[in-house]
Structure 1
Amino acid sequence: MSSISAVRSPPRPPSSPVGKSSTPIRRFVLNFPSMRQRRRGPQSHLLPEAEKFSDSGAGGGSILIERRSVVFSSVGMVAAAFCNASKDVIALASQFTDMPALRGKDYGKSKMSYPDYTETESGLQYKDLRVGDGPKPKVGETVVVDWDGYTIGYYGRIFEARNKTKGGSFEGDDKAFFKFRVGSQEVIPAFEESITGMALGGIRRIIVPPELGYPDNDYNKSGPRPTTFSGQRALDFVLRNQGLIDKTLLFDIELIKIIPN
């Protein structure tokens, strides 16, 4: 019987003062790694004084208040950062350009401007990769050009290019050069505008917004047209995709020859 009487139940923790509950405090503090260390028992002496916790008394309350103040200050910092980010978004909103796929929605896409390009009144951006030293074409004259085309608004896909490796999607090493008569409206407005400002032998790179590109998003209505099936499919996908935001195109144009009337 003496051995049985020597076994005692584990001591119960002291009850909390009347009117105070320790449950919210425990739930709050258990999120900290220091409390997980304290629960291991003998290692509690490793905790710094500021991390020790008491379920009752003024000490526990002061630690709780201190930790709450830290959390509230962190929330304030996050809110301030969010407000600053919102201001940046509002500042960019004034630079948004009209995109048919985004009409009626609460967001847009900013118009891209390139500092090393010259922008005309129509919105065309161009850069001369090589300035020609010959005459400039006149209205009514026929020009012979070489050109490359890219869908820079959609992953930079090529829809027309020369001198590509044989066997690839874009062969065309021996394709005929593109010809059109200046002022005949045979080509998209961006092409017409670019050629009239070039000199013979020059190479110009142009960035074409949708309003200066293919009318009604159909490359069959105006030139230049891709000469390969792969190029036609790539361009047609961008032009006819109603959900595609950016239909901006890029062309490289080389003025090879001017044929008088």
Structure 2
Amino acid sequence: MFRRTASRALLAVVLSVSLAACGESEDSTGAAAEISTDLSEKPEVPASDEPAPDELVIDDIVEGDGDEAVEGSTASVKYVGAFYESGEEFDSSWSGGPDETIEVPLGGGRVIPGFEQGIEGMQVGGRRMITIPSDLGYGDEDRGPIPGGSTLVFVMDLVEVTD
């Protein structure tokens, strides 16, 4: 009986240490770790030399604790949009001032699919980095300053959710 308990305890310790080590390496090496957690400060989007993802990638920088953004609600967000590879900014609500937001009716199709999908599930007070492959962005067509086929990164803060 003692051996079984000791073996289980040892296994639990080894598993805990392994999981903790994995979590530390992911957090310390990811681009999300470079983004400010201060919601009063405009975030900077880091450049990436990693291959661009072919799926939507969501990284919570700050987890909010307010109302949740769900389909059918309208989310008020502040955001910075940049190119994945260079981190070069192409758009930002912050250019209108620190309190400038845009309204996004979730499920309304008024913004690119990846932007809308990236907001869903956020809670007010949260900051999230969303990496959007071109098929969930603007596709292969040039759109203003955004060349066709671009992978985009948005860092957004959820300010308010209304029904």
Q: Could you state the TM-score of these two structures normalised by the residue count of structure 2?
A: 0.60
CA contact (8 A) 1:145 1:257 kept: yes
Out of 65, 76, 82, the position equivalent to 1:144 is 76
Match of 2:57 in 1: 125
CA contact (8 A) 2:75 2:161 kept: yes
Match of 1:253 in 2: 156
1:183 aligns with 2:107: yes
Q: Could you state the TM-score of these two structures normalised by the residue count of structure 1?
A: 0.39
> Unpaired segments of 5 or more residues in structure 1?
1-109, 114-121, 164-170, 220-235, 241-245
> Which of the pair has the greater relative contact order for Cα pairs under 8 Å at 6+ separation?
2
Q: 1:217 to 1:201 in 2, by over 3 A?
A: farther
Q: 1:185 to 1:216 in 2, by over 3 A?
A: farther
> Unpaired segments of 5 or more residues in structure 2?
1-49
Q: 1:187 to 1:199 in 2, by over 3 A?
A: same
Q: 1:175 to 1:216 in 2, by over 3 A?
A: farther
SS of 1:144's equivalent in the other structure is strand
The one-letter amino acid paired with 1:212 is L
Distance 1:218 1:183 in 2: 24
- More strand per residue: 2
Number of residue-to-residue matches in the alignment: 114
Distance 1:177 1:218 in 2: 25
1:107-127 CA-to-partner distances (Å, cap 9, x unmatched) read xxx8445xxxxxxxx811121
Distance 2:156 2:128 in 1: 5
Q: CA RMSD in A?
A: 2.5
The one-letter amino acid paired with 2:55 is G
